Chain A
Amino acid sequence: MWFIATTTFIAMHAVPGDPLTSERATTEQIRKNLEERYGLDRPIFEQYLIYMGNMTRGDFGISFTQQNRRVNDIIRDHFPVSATLGILAIFFASLGGILWGALTALYRNRWPDIAIMFLVILGISVPSFVFAALGQLALVNVNTALGVTLLPVAGWGTVRHMIVPSLVLGLGTMAFLTRLMRSSMLEIMNADFVRTARAKGLPPTRVFLMHQLRNAVLPVVTVLGPAIAAITTGGFVVELIFAIPGLGRYFVQAVQQLDYTVIMGTTVFYGAFLVSMVIIVDLAYGFVDPRVRMQ
């Protein structure tokens, strides 16, 4: 955490120019006042200490470009939107990944397998912004063809707004999880304990659900951490294209406007979020897999 915060601070202050350069009408005095207000007139090291001190108290400071808006408020207002989108996307991705992966393994080398694996390869190699754009295009066409707005093309607010963006966002991860699930399922299908279960006469559905599926899901749980990271950053693009007021869009805007405090605040926030997600997934893994707990 400390490493992330420090690296961000150093990287930000190495940027040529500062956020106040864009304020055109500033006189020398105004500029000086502004610098004083944001603490930019002090030595870098002191700024660093102040910043770190505030951060430990959970205060990320005030935005440079949107005066009177605290970074904490920005995060508080817009992170829930991103989180909703992300959770839905993860939900779609893992549900679809497990489902399709198990299906392809069961129908190995027959047409459902080939068809789904073809889509999976497509999902892995097509960038998310292309999916987003195509999704939007499809929505426009469907809506004009039907004459009613079945699902809105952009914006945020109701459940109907959320469906397409989160599907698009989850698509790449879904493809990745499907592939993983398929290989782990194939491995499990030939395992000794599955043969034993069959031999002792358990019904096939029970073997499938309790022995195969449960064990095959384990590797999928381990990659959920990186998957969350992928979906978080993928969210930037989807939020931009679908005009969703999430934190990702604010981050991209802040980067373009050199808004120090917002960039640092969101980066540190995202960093903390991702690190804690990885830890949670690790803990969850121990919860799911008794073998890990034993060690």
Chain B
Amino acid sequence: MNTTPHSFHPADFEPVVVQRKTHTISRPSLSYWQDAWRRLKANRLALISLYIVVGLGLFTLLGPLAWTINPAAQDLDQVSQSPGLQLTALIVAPYEPWAGVTATLMASRSGVTEEATAEIRLAEPATTQAIRVVWEHVPRAAGYRVYRSVYAPEPDRALGLPLADLFRPEQVSFEDRLDLRPGRYWYSIVVLDRTGEEVDAYTTLPVDVHRVTSAEEAELLGWVDDAATLRPGDRLQLPYHPLGTDYLGRDMLARLMYGARVSLFIGIVAPLLFVLTGIAYGSAAGFIGGRADQALMRFADFVVALPFLLFMILFKITFGVGPGESGVLPMLVALVILGWPATARLVRGQVLQIREEGYIGASRLLGAKTTYLIMRHMIPNTMGVILVTLTFAVPSVIFTEAFLSFIGMGVAPPTPSWGSMCNEGIRTMLSHPHELVFPAVFISITVLAFNLLGDGLRDALDVRMRGHE
């Protein structure tokens, strides 16, 4: 080839600009985390779980702002109330003593006949303030015994609670103010003879009791701000408990919210802390290697060998719960002390494995410093595994907390937690199942959501799955 001498221009050294667009088949490059997020979004169950977790967070953090009822406020008038009841009370005048009714006695000669019964009626409408019953005087009666029952008396059934023995035959009235609740009571009057024995016959009066309160009482209980605004005869709406009340009349919804704070706080902070401890411990062991690694890992093995729940209980009592403390902190400490080795082992394994990887060697050859290696390669590559461990640790810690609180080793009583609420609910399980069901459902949903989310995360972060649809 014959070449003519050619003089170069600076323009010849400029990069060639591609003139024509070539046809390319490619998709936008995704980072590891974008890819994982895409795959997580494709997993319907995991996404729903994520929403549930977010929802629980909102319930816990924002719930108490929207539902401002004090979870510790007891209302013994509304103990173990069913969910969703809207109760009203009639405002009446404050209680005034009642003189009762006295009968004029007729002279009596012989004893009482066995069939002697007294006709009962109410002196005035029955209210939760007082129930006043009056009966006809029975000639020759030496006295009367008053019974109250919450069931209709049957021939073979006792008449209920004996309220009073009245040994003055002229007294033919009785005022009952003992622990009255709205509902139906059966009052029975039995005539007593001279020896104080009951005659066989009795008369019973079913009484429907209505909820009333006086204005002063309403103000005292915090139902209204000012007693002066209420007139006798008004209807007052009692505080609404959408999920009912517990055995001390505390609002279930408010308690569930504050219980969520305790349960989720422990459930999230404890795994976070012990996973961090585990990371520090495990990566230190993995990095140092050699004898120190052996010793550190042997110690971790020891801690793993401890029966977990037994030692949780032991540590809990060791740290003790002083008066007025909630017992959350000791539980947190105990969880961290016993929880870290699993993560430490995992991280150490990861570090040992990644250290030998080709890309680490390559980047070291290119002059990367240790900090760069850790920040750029080690942490991002172990992050996925750690995140999955963290997600799975949450439900197990929530379980542990619930278990401990259930056997009475968890948070101390006035502080609600879902586990302790279950423990309280189980006592009234037969009559008021809602007190057990609500906290149990919350525990179950939370554990379920975190488990499914963990499954989804594990699948999404699994590098082997990358590129698979």
- The reply to whether A11 and B318 form a contact with Cβ atoms under 8 Å apart is yes
Q: Which of B24-32, B55-63, B199-207, B303-311 contacts A (4 or more CB under 8 A)?
A: B303-311
- The reply to whether A130 and B422 form a contact with Cβ atoms under 8 Å apart is yes
Given contacts A129-B403, A240-B407, A267-B307, contact A121 B314 (CB under 8 A): no
- The reply to whether B444 and A130 form a contact with Cβ atoms under 8 Å apart is yes
**Which residues of the other chain, B, contact A3 by a CB distance below 8 angstroms?**
302, 305-306
- Bound CA span A267–B430, Å: 34
Complex partner residue of A130 from B305, B315, B318, B440, CB under 8 angstroms: B440
**Which residues of the other chain, A, contact B407 by a CB distance below 8 angstroms?**
236-237, 240, 252
- Bound CA span A137–B440, Å: 15
User: Does A203 sit within 8 A of B, measured CB to CB?
Assistant: no
- The reply to whether A133 and B318 form a contact with Cβ atoms under 8 Å apart is no
- The reply to whether B307 and A127 form a contact with Cβ atoms under 8 Å apart is no
Quick one: which of B290-310 are within 8 Å of A by CB? 302, 305-310
- The reply to whether B403 and A237 form a contact with Cβ atoms under 8 Å apart is yes
Q: Nearest-CB distance from B45 to chain A (Å)?
A: 10
- The reply to whether B399 and A127 form a contact with Cβ atoms under 8 Å apart is yes
**Which residues of the other chain, B, contact A156 by a CB distance below 8 angstroms?**
none
Per-residue CB contact flags for chain A residues 217-247 toward chain B (1 = under 8 Å, else 0) read 0000000000001001100110011000000
Given contacts A133-B426, A133-B429, contact A267 B443 (CB under 8 A): no
Count contacts between A and B, CB distance < 8 Å: 108
Q: Which of A20-28, A69-77, A269-277, A280-288 contacts B (4 or more CB under 8 A)?
A: A269-277
- Bound CA span A14–B318, Å: 6
Q: Nearest-CB distance from A176 to chain B (Å)?
A: 11
- Bound CA span A164–B385, Å: 39
- Bound CA span A121–B448, Å: 7
Q: How large is the interface on A (under 10, 10 to 19, 20 to 34, 35 or more residues)?
A: 35 or more
User: Does A125 sit within 8 A of B, measured CB to CB?
Assistant: yes
- Bound CA span A136–B429, Å: 10
- The reply to whether A255 and B409 form a contact with Cβ atoms under 8 Å apart is yes
- Bound CA span A117–B402, Å: 24
**Which residues of the other chain, A, contact B423 by a CB distance below 8 angstroms?**
129
User: Does B406 sit within 8 A of A, measured CB to CB?
Assistant: yes
- The reply to whether A11 and B315 form a contact with Cβ atoms under 8 Å apart is yes
- The reply to whether A274 and B320 form a contact with Cβ atoms under 8 Å apart is no
**Which residues of the other chain, A, contact B433 by a CB distance below 8 angstroms?**
137
- Bound CA span A270–B307, Å: 8
- Bound CA span A214–B140, Å: 89
- The reply to whether A267 and B305 form a contact with Cβ atoms under 8 Å apart is no
- Bound CA span A128–B317, Å: 23
- The reply to whether B306 and A271 form a contact with Cβ atoms under 8 Å apart is yes
User: Does B436 sit within 8 A of A, measured CB to CB?
Assistant: yes
Complex partner residue of B422 from A129, A140, A252, CB under 8 angstroms: A129
With both beta carbons as reference points, the residue of chain A lying nearest to B409 in the complex is identified as A255
Report the interface size for chain B: residues with CB under 8 A from the other chain: 38
Complex partner residue of B307 from A14, A237, A274, CB under 8 angstroms: A274
- The reply to whether A7 and B306 form a contact with Cβ atoms under 8 Å apart is yes
Q: Nearest-CB distance from A98 to chain B (Å)?
A: 22
Complex partner residue of A127 from B313, B422, B429, B451, CB under 8 angstroms: B422
Given contacts A3-B302, A125-B447, contact A258 B317 (CB under 8 A): yes
With both beta carbons as reference points, the residue of chain B lying nearest to A229 in the complex is identified as B307
**Which residues of the other chain, B, contact A87 by a CB distance below 8 angstroms?**
none
- The reply to whether A125 and B314 form a contact with Cβ atoms under 8 Å apart is no
**Which residues of the other chain, A, contact B139 by a CB distance below 8 angstroms?**
none
User: Does A55 sit within 8 A of B, measured CB to CB?
Assistant: no
- The reply to whether A130 and B314 form a contact with Cβ atoms under 8 Å apart is no
Q: Nearest-CB distance from B247 to chain A (Å)?
A: 15
With both beta carbons as reference points, the residue of chain B lying nearest to A132 in the complex is identified as B426
**Which residues of the other chain, B, contact A140 by a CB distance below 8 angstroms?**
430
Quick one: which of A116-132 are within 8 Å of B by CB? 121-122, 124-130
**Which residues of the other chain, A, contact B399 by a CB distance below 8 angstroms?**
127
- Bound CA span A267–B318, Å: 14
- The reply to whether A237 and B406 form a contact with Cβ atoms under 8 Å apart is yes
- Bound CA span A134–B420, Å: 17
Q: Nearest-CB distance from B176 to chain A (Å)?
A: 32
**Which residues of the other chain, A, contact B318 by a CB distance below 8 angstroms?**
11-12, 14-15
- The reply to whether A125 and B444 form a contact with Cβ atoms under 8 Å apart is yes
Q: Nearest-CB distance from A183 to chain B (Å)?
A: 11
User: Does A16 sit within 8 A of B, measured CB to CB?
Assistant: yes
- Bound CA span A12–B447, Å: 32
User: Does B271 sit within 8 A of A, measured CB to CB?
Assistant: no
- Bound CA span A232–B452, Å: 26
- Bound CA span A104–B422, Å: 33
- The reply to whether A275 and B305 form a contact with Cβ atoms under 8 Å apart is yes
User: Does B408 sit within 8 A of A, measured CB to CB?
Assistant: yes
- The reply to whether B426 and A255 form a contact with Cβ atoms under 8 Å apart is no
With both beta carbons as reference points, the residue of chain A lying nearest to B436 in the complex is identified as A133
User: Does B244 sit within 8 A of A, measured CB to CB?
Assistant: no
Query: Would you give 30 A-B contacts (Cβ < 8 Å), ordered by A?
Result: A3-B305, A8-B314, A11-B314, A11-B318, A12-B318, A15-B317, A121-B452, A124-B447, A124-B448, A125-B395, A125-B445, A125-B447, A126-B440, A126-B447, A127-B402, A127-B406, A127-B419, A127-B422, A127-B443, A133-B426, A229-B307, A233-B307, A236-B309, A237-B403, A255-B313, A255-B317, A263-B314, A267-B311, A270-B307, A270-B310
- 7 nearest A-B pairs in the assembled complex, by CB-CB distance: A125-B448, A125-B447, A233-B309, A130-B440, A11-B314, A11-B318, A126-B444
